[in-house]
Amino acid sequence: MSTSISSLYLAAQSTANTAAAPAARPQPAANAGGDTVQLTEAQQVYQLYNQGQRVSQIATNLSLTQAAVNSYLNLSATG
């Protein structure tokens, strides 16, 4: 005879719910079932630049050189 896991879980829950204190419900994960997007380095540079960050700030935040940030943004370095 086989018993499914879901029926065992329901039986355990009904037994636990007969106690005086209500059973704590498990909290869903912060991103349960949600989609996540991994941005490329270039996309991160564009996003931070469009948010108003300076090239030097972007370089520091992303551990890049200012030359690399300028390259992603197609900016020429000013001397």
Give the pLDDT confidence score for residue 79 in this predicted structure: 46
Pick from 6-10, 43-47, 68-72: least confident: 6-10
Q: What is the pTM of this model?
A: 0.53
Q: Which domain holds residue 76?
A: 38-79
Please tell me the distance from the alpha carbon of residue 43 to that of residue 28, in angstroms, as a whole number: 30
64 domain-assigned: yes
Give the pLDDT confidence score for residue 8 in this predicted structure: 46
Overall domain count for the chain: 1
12 domain-assigned: no
**What is the SS3 assignment for the chain?**
CCCCHHHHHHHHHHHHCCCCCCCCCCCCCCCCCCCCCCCCHHHHHHHHHHCCCCHHHHHHHCCCCHHHHHHHCCCCCCC
74 domain-assigned: yes
Q: Is the pLDDT of residue 41 over 90?
A: yes
43 domain-assigned: yes
55 domain-assigned: yes
